[in-house]
Amino acid sequence: MTLFLIGYMGSGKTVIAKALAEILSFRFIDFDDYIEIQEGATIRTIFEEKGEVYFRKAEHDYLKDILNIDNTIIALGGGTPCYGNNMKALLGSKNTHCIYLKTKIPTLIERLFEERKKRPLISHLESKEALQEFIGKHLFERAPIYEQSQIIVNTDGQSKQEIAEAIIAQLF
């Protein structure tokens, strides 16, 4: 079984994927880290030096490497399901489950504002109001894709343990 955690930046994909991997004794892969290792550069540098179109193409190509690794849980990038036919590939892959971590905008703002400099799409936003406006529009575009996931879990007000348990209850 291969599990993909999807959702907006700051929805907790990496933290929850690590917790689930430990509970299920699955291997954990952070897809952003995987891309950085393959490219020998940080996501920020890839965006700065080669641009977003290059990054999306690389992300699409590397996705094929990790589609069918058994007993593995993968935290995808927030944009991974949203480009090319990536979501179709994820949903069409055998013995695979997509899990959407659904998080409300105020929670995302609180998590992302301080660490926005690490994320090229939002690093230029200088106020929480600007971040709110950006996320509002962006999530409106992306939510219909995220919502195609087989499992959807609301994360607001839930501990890491509770979210992991809610996912496991729907999986088995």
Cβ at position 153, least distance to ligand S3P in Å: 16
* 108 burial via Cβ count (<10 Å: 0-12, 13-18, 19+): buried
Position among 3, 79, 153, 155 found at the interface with ligand S3P (CB under 6 A)? 79
Q: DSSP labels for 23-68?
A: HHT-EEEEHHHHHHHHHTS-HHHHHHHH-HHHHHHHHHHHHHHHTT
- Residue 12 contacts ligand S3P per CB under 6 A: no
One-letter amino acid at 117 equals: K
**CB of 2 or CB of 103, closer to ligand S3P:** 103
Q: Which stretch binds ligand S3P (CB under 6 A): 71-79, 87-95, 147-155, 161-169?
A: 71-79
Please give the C-alpha separations between residue 19 and each of 114, 127, 130, 165, in angstroms, as whole numbers.
Answer: 24, 32, 32, 10
From candidates 120, 139, 145, 164, binder to ligand S3P by CB under 6 A? 120
Q: Using CB under 6 A, which of 5, 21, 32, 63 touches ligand S3P?
A: 32
Q: Which residue ranges make up the site for ligand S3P (CB under 6 A)? A: 9, 13, 32, 43, 77-79, 119-121
